[in-house]
Protein backbone atom coordinates (compact mmCIF):
# COMPACT_ATOMS: atom_id res chain seq x y z
CA UNK A 1 0.00 0.00 0.00
CA UNK A 2 2.82 2.38 0.88
CA UNK A 3 4.50 1.67 -2.46
CA UNK A 4 1.28 2.51 -4.27
CA UNK A 5 0.93 5.77 -2.33
CA UNK A 6 4.58 6.66 -2.92
CA UNK A 7 4.16 6.13 -6.66
CA UNK A 8 1.46 8.83 -6.86
CA UNK A 9 2.98 12.11 -8.10
CA UNK A 10 3.05 14.98 -5.61
CA UNK A 11 0.33 17.51 -6.29
CA UNK A 12 2.17 20.81 -6.99
CA UNK A 13 0.12 22.94 -4.57
CA UNK A 14 3.08 24.92 -3.24
CA UNK A 15 4.44 25.62 -6.72
CA UNK A 16 1.00 26.71 -7.92
CA UNK A 17 0.59 29.11 -5.02
CA UNK A 18 4.05 30.54 -5.65
CA UNK A 19 3.14 31.11 -9.31
CA UNK A 20 -0.12 32.83 -8.39
CA UNK A 21 1.59 35.07 -5.83
CA UNK A 22 4.37 35.97 -8.26
CA UNK A 23 1.80 36.88 -10.92
CA UNK A 24 -0.23 39.02 -8.52
CA UNK A 25 2.75 40.87 -7.11
CA UNK A 26 4.22 41.57 -10.54
CA UNK A 27 1.01 42.55 -12.35
CA UNK A 28 -0.83 44.34 -9.56
CA UNK A 29 2.13 45.98 -7.88
CA UNK A 30 0.82 49.49 -8.71
CA UNK A 31 -2.51 48.73 -7.04
CA UNK A 32 -0.86 47.26 -3.96
CA UNK A 33 1.49 50.23 -3.74
CA UNK A 34 -1.44 52.65 -3.96
CA UNK A 35 -3.31 50.80 -1.19
CA UNK A 36 -0.15 50.64 0.92
CA UNK A 37 0.58 54.36 0.65
CA UNK A 38 -3.04 55.48 0.95
CA UNK A 39 -3.77 53.20 3.88
CA UNK A 40 -0.57 54.14 5.66
CA UNK A 41 -1.25 57.86 5.29
CA UNK A 42 -4.86 57.51 6.45
CA UNK A 43 -3.93 55.42 9.48
CA UNK A 44 -1.05 57.71 10.42
CA UNK A 45 -3.44 60.66 10.23
CA UNK A 46 -5.96 58.95 12.53
CA UNK A 47 -3.24 57.91 14.96
CA UNK A 48 -1.73 61.41 15.06
CA UNK A 49 -5.18 62.86 15.66
CA UNK A 50 -5.83 60.45 18.53
CA UNK A 51 -2.42 61.15 20.08
CA UNK A 52 -3.05 64.91 19.82
CA UNK A 53 -6.10 64.56 22.07
CA UNK A 54 -5.09 65.12 25.71
CA UNK A 55 -5.25 61.74 27.48
CA UNK A 56 -7.48 63.10 30.26
CA UNK A 57 -10.08 64.28 27.73
CA UNK A 58 -9.89 61.01 25.80
CA UNK A 59 -10.39 58.99 28.99
CA UNK A 60 -13.33 61.13 30.13
CA UNK A 61 -15.00 60.84 26.71
CA UNK A 62 -14.67 57.04 26.74
CA UNK A 63 -16.02 56.97 30.31
CA UNK A 64 -18.98 59.14 29.29
CA UNK A 65 -19.74 56.88 26.31
CA UNK A 66 -19.56 53.85 28.60
CA UNK A 67 -21.84 55.53 31.14
CA UNK A 68 -24.46 56.36 28.49
CA UNK A 69 -24.19 53.02 26.67
CA UNK A 70 -24.72 51.05 29.88
CA UNK A 71 -27.89 52.98 30.79
CA UNK A 72 -26.20 55.29 33.30
CA UNK A 73 -24.41 52.56 35.23
CA UNK A 74 -21.03 53.47 36.68
CA UNK A 75 -19.28 50.08 36.53
CA UNK A 76 -17.86 50.17 33.01
CA UNK A 77 -17.15 53.92 33.19
CA UNK A 78 -15.09 53.52 36.35
CA UNK A 79 -13.26 50.52 34.89
CA UNK A 80 -12.49 52.51 31.73
CA UNK A 81 -11.09 55.43 33.75
CA UNK A 82 -8.93 53.22 35.97
CA UNK A 83 -7.79 50.97 33.12
CA UNK A 84 -6.88 53.75 30.72
CA UNK A 85 -5.12 55.70 33.46
CA UNK A 86 -3.08 52.56 34.19
CA UNK A 87 -2.07 52.30 30.53
CA UNK A 88 -1.07 55.96 30.48
CA UNK A 89 0.84 55.55 33.74
CA UNK A 90 2.85 52.71 32.23
CA UNK A 91 3.96 54.87 29.29
CA UNK A 92 1.98 52.89 26.71
CA UNK A 93 -0.45 55.59 25.62
CA UNK A 94 0.97 56.07 22.13
CA UNK A 95 1.06 52.31 21.59
CA UNK A 96 -2.57 52.14 22.69
CA UNK A 97 -3.57 54.77 20.12
CA UNK A 98 -1.79 52.78 17.39
CA UNK A 99 -3.71 49.70 18.50
CA UNK A 100 -7.00 51.63 18.47
CA UNK A 101 -6.33 52.74 14.89
CA UNK A 102 -5.49 49.21 13.78
CA UNK A 103 -8.64 47.77 15.38
CA UNK A 104 -10.87 50.55 14.02
CA UNK A 105 -9.67 50.19 10.43
CA UNK A 106 -9.67 46.39 10.33
CA UNK A 107 -13.09 46.16 12.04
CA UNK A 108 -14.74 48.73 9.78
CA UNK A 109 -13.38 47.11 6.62
CA UNK A 110 -14.45 43.65 7.82
CA UNK A 111 -17.95 44.91 8.66
CA UNK A 112 -18.34 46.75 5.34
CA UNK A 113 -17.40 43.57 3.46
CA UNK A 114 -19.08 41.12 5.83
CA UNK A 115 -22.63 42.49 6.05
CA UNK A 116 -23.30 42.50 2.27
CA UNK A 117 -21.82 39.00 1.99
CA UNK A 118 -24.06 37.82 4.84
CA UNK A 119 -27.11 39.34 3.15
CA UNK A 120 -26.13 37.66 -0.12
CA UNK A 121 -25.80 34.31 1.65
CA UNK A 122 -29.24 34.70 3.24
CA UNK A 123 -30.85 35.39 -0.13
CA UNK A 124 -29.14 32.76 -2.25
CA UNK A 125 -28.53 29.08 -1.56
CA UNK A 126 -25.90 29.02 -4.30
CA UNK A 127 -24.02 31.93 -2.72
CA UNK A 128 -24.23 30.27 0.69
CA UNK A 129 -22.83 27.00 -0.66
CA UNK A 130 -19.93 28.89 -2.25
CA UNK A 131 -19.13 31.32 0.58
CA UNK A 132 -19.52 28.94 3.54
CA UNK A 133 -16.49 26.71 2.65
CA UNK A 134 -14.42 29.87 2.13
CA UNK A 135 -15.38 31.08 5.60
CA UNK A 136 -14.49 27.67 7.05
CA UNK A 137 -11.09 27.96 5.38
CA UNK A 138 -10.57 31.49 6.72
CA UNK A 139 -11.49 30.52 10.29
CA UNK A 140 -9.45 27.33 10.49
CA UNK A 141 -6.29 28.59 8.79
CA UNK A 142 -3.69 29.65 11.41
CA UNK A 143 -3.46 33.41 11.72
CA UNK A 144 0.29 33.40 11.04
CA UNK A 145 -0.34 32.11 7.51
CA UNK A 146 -2.16 35.32 6.59
CA UNK A 147 1.06 37.24 7.19
CA UNK A 148 2.67 35.65 4.12
CA UNK A 149 0.42 37.18 1.43
CA UNK A 150 0.13 40.37 3.48
CA UNK A 151 3.89 40.91 3.34
CA UNK A 152 4.06 39.82 -0.30
CA UNK A 153 1.40 42.35 -1.32
CA UNK A 154 2.08 45.31 0.96
CA UNK A 155 5.52 44.84 2.48
CA UNK A 156 6.17 45.61 6.14
CA UNK A 157 4.05 47.95 8.25
CA UNK A 158 0.58 48.66 9.49
CA UNK A 159 -1.28 48.08 6.19
CA UNK A 160 -0.37 44.37 5.92
CA UNK A 161 -1.37 44.08 9.58
CA UNK A 162 -4.82 45.42 8.73
CA UNK A 163 -5.00 43.10 5.71
CA UNK A 164 -4.28 40.03 7.83
CA UNK A 165 -6.67 41.19 10.55
CA UNK A 166 -9.53 41.69 8.09
CA UNK A 167 -9.18 38.17 6.69
CA UNK A 168 -9.00 36.69 10.18
CA UNK A 169 -11.91 38.73 11.63
CA UNK A 170 -14.32 38.74 8.67
CA UNK A 171 -16.19 35.39 9.05
CA UNK A 172 -18.25 36.11 12.22
CA UNK A 173 -19.95 39.16 10.68
CA UNK A 174 -20.80 37.20 7.53
CA UNK A 175 -22.11 34.17 9.40
CA UNK A 176 -24.14 36.07 11.99
CA UNK A 177 -25.70 38.37 9.36
CA UNK A 178 -26.77 35.35 7.36
CA UNK A 179 -28.09 33.63 10.48
CA UNK A 180 -29.95 36.68 11.74
CA UNK A 181 -31.80 37.27 8.46
CA UNK A 182 -32.68 33.60 8.10
CA UNK A 183 -34.13 33.60 11.63
CA UNK A 184 -36.61 36.38 10.86
CA UNK A 185 -40.11 34.86 11.36
CA UNK A 186 -41.61 33.72 8.09
CA UNK A 187 -44.95 35.29 8.99
CA UNK A 188 -43.44 38.78 9.12
CA UNK A 189 -41.76 38.33 5.75
CA UNK A 190 -45.03 37.13 4.22
CA UNK A 191 -46.85 40.09 5.78
CA UNK A 192 -44.36 42.47 4.17
CA UNK A 193 -44.88 40.73 0.85
CA UNK A 194 -48.66 40.99 1.20
CA UNK A 195 -48.35 44.76 1.61
CA UNK A 196 -46.44 44.98 -1.64
CA UNK A 197 -42.99 45.65 -0.20
CA UNK A 198 -40.10 45.46 -2.60
CA UNK A 199 -37.12 43.27 -1.79
CA UNK A 200 -35.12 46.32 -0.73
CA UNK A 201 -37.93 47.66 1.50
CA UNK A 202 -38.38 44.25 3.09
CA UNK A 203 -34.66 44.01 3.80
CA UNK A 204 -34.30 47.52 5.26
CA UNK A 205 -37.57 47.77 7.21
CA UNK A 206 -38.16 44.18 8.33
CA UNK A 207 -35.25 41.79 8.07
CA UNK A 208 -32.27 43.92 9.11
CA UNK A 209 -34.02 45.50 12.15
CA UNK A 210 -35.12 42.08 13.39
CA UNK A 211 -31.69 40.58 12.72
CA UNK A 212 -29.89 43.45 14.47
CA UNK A 213 -29.24 41.58 17.71
CA UNK A 214 -27.65 38.59 15.97
CA UNK A 215 -25.67 40.83 13.62
CA UNK A 216 -24.30 42.85 16.53
CA UNK A 217 -23.10 39.64 18.15
CA UNK A 218 -21.14 38.91 14.98
CA UNK A 219 -19.75 42.44 14.87
CA UNK A 220 -18.66 42.08 18.49
CA UNK A 221 -16.73 38.93 17.60
CA UNK A 222 -15.19 40.62 14.57
CA UNK A 223 -13.89 43.51 16.68
CA UNK A 224 -12.41 41.14 19.27
CA UNK A 225 -10.79 38.98 16.59
CA UNK A 226 -9.26 42.11 15.07
CA UNK A 227 -7.84 42.91 18.48
CA UNK A 228 -6.53 39.38 18.88
CA UNK A 229 -4.48 39.81 15.69
CA UNK A 230 -2.61 42.81 17.13
CA UNK A 231 0.25 40.73 18.50
CA UNK A 232 0.52 38.59 15.37
CA UNK A 233 0.43 41.66 13.12
CA UNK A 234 3.29 43.17 15.11
CA UNK A 235 5.52 40.45 13.64
CA UNK A 236 5.29 42.22 10.26
CA UNK A 237 5.83 45.71 11.58
CA UNK A 238 2.39 46.78 12.78
CA UNK A 239 2.81 49.26 15.67
CA UNK A 240 0.93 49.20 18.95
CA UNK A 241 0.70 47.19 22.13
CA UNK A 242 1.36 44.00 20.18
CA UNK A 243 4.83 45.24 19.32
CA UNK A 244 5.54 45.73 23.03
CA UNK A 245 4.46 42.15 23.74
CA UNK A 246 6.61 40.84 20.89
CA UNK A 247 9.60 42.90 22.03
CA UNK A 248 9.25 41.61 25.58
CA UNK A 249 9.06 38.05 24.28
CA UNK A 250 12.19 38.45 22.19
CA UNK A 251 14.12 39.92 25.13
CA UNK A 252 12.60 37.63 27.78
CA UNK A 253 11.32 40.67 29.72
CA UNK A 254 8.55 39.14 31.80
CA UNK A 255 7.51 42.37 33.49
CA UNK A 256 7.22 44.44 30.33
CA UNK A 257 5.38 41.63 28.58
CA UNK A 258 2.91 41.33 31.45
CA UNK A 259 2.20 45.08 31.47
CA UNK A 260 1.66 45.19 27.68
CA UNK A 261 -0.51 42.08 27.81
CA UNK A 262 -2.55 43.49 30.69
CA UNK A 263 -3.05 46.70 28.73
CA UNK A 264 -4.40 44.66 25.82
CA UNK A 265 -6.76 42.85 28.19
CA UNK A 266 -8.05 46.16 29.61
CA UNK A 267 -8.64 47.55 26.13
CA UNK A 268 -10.34 44.33 25.01
CA UNK A 269 -12.71 44.35 28.00
CA UNK A 270 -13.70 47.98 27.35
CA UNK A 271 -14.31 47.30 23.65
CA UNK A 272 -16.23 44.10 24.36
CA UNK A 273 -18.51 45.65 26.98
CA UNK A 274 -19.19 48.70 24.82
CA UNK A 275 -20.14 46.67 21.74
CA UNK A 276 -22.34 44.42 23.89
CA UNK A 277 -24.10 47.40 25.43
CA UNK A 278 -24.88 48.79 21.98
CA UNK A 279 -26.75 45.55 21.28
CA UNK A 280 -29.16 46.01 24.16
CA UNK A 281 -32.52 47.67 23.68
Q: Is residue 41 situated within a structural domain? A: yes
Domain housing 223: 13-52+90-278
Predicted pLDDT of residue 6: 60
Q: Is residue 111 part of a domain?
A: yes
∠ Cα 158 160 161 (to 5°)? 60
The verdict on residue 235 lying in a domain is: yes
SS (H, E, C) the chain: CHHHHHHCCCCCHHHHHHHHHHHHHHHCHHHHHHHHHHHHHHHHHHHHHHHHCCHHHHHHHHHHHHHHHCCCCHHHHHHHHHHHHHHHHCCCHHHHHHHHHHHHHHHHHHHHHHHHHHHHHHHCHHHHHHHHHHHHHHHHCCHHHHHHHHHHHHCCCHHHHHHHHHHHHHHHHHHHHHHHHHCCCHHHHHHHHHCCCCHHHHHHHHHHHHHHHHHHHHHHHHHHHHHHCHHHHHHHCCCCHHHHHHHHHHHCCHHHHHHHHHHHHHHHHHHHHHHHHHCCC
How high is the pLDDT of residue 85? Answer: 92
Do 76 and 66 touch, CB atoms closer than 8 A?
Answer: yes
Domain annotation covers residue 80: no
pLDDT of residue 127: 87
Residue 211 is predicted with a pLDDT of 86
In a domain, 65, yes or no: no
CATH number of the domain encompassing residue 100: 1.10.3720.10
**Residue 75 falls inside a structural domain:** no
pLDDT for 81 equals: 92
Residues 94, 95, 96, 98, Cα dihedral to 10°: 90
| pTM reported for the whole predicted model | 0.84
Closest CA to 49 of 101, 123, 14: 101
pLDDT at position 54, please?
Answer: 92
C-alpha–C-alpha distance, residues 231 and 219, integer Å:
20
d(CA 40, CA 207): 37
Torsion on CA atoms 268, 273, 275, 281, rounded to nearest 10: 170
For residue 185, count CB atoms less than 10 angstroms from its CB and return exposed for 0-12, middle for 13-18, buried for 19 or more.
exposed
Domain annotation covers residue 64: no
pLDDT at site 174: 92
Q: Per the structure, how many domains does the chain have?
A: 1
Domain membership of residue 21 (yes or no) is: yes
Residue-by-residue pLDDT tens, the chain, 281 positions: 566 656 667 767 777 877 877 777 777 778 878 888 888 888 888 888 988 989 999 999 999 988 888 777 788 888 999 999 999 998 888 889 988 888 888 899 999 999 999 999 888 889 889 988 888 888 888 777 777 777 777 777 788 888 888 888 889 999 999 998 888 888 887 787 777 777 788 888 888 888 888 888 888 889 888 888 877 888 777 778 877 887 877 777 788 888 888 888 898 899 888 888 776 65
Amino acid sequence: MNKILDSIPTVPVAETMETIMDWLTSNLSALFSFIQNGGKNAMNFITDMLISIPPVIFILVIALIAFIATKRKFGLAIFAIVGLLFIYNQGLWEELMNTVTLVIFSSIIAIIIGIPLGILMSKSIVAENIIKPILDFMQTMPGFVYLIPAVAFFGIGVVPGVFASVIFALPPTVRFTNLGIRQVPRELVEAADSYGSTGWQKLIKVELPLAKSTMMAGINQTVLLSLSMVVIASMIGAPGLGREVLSALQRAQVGNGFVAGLSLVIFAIIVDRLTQSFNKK
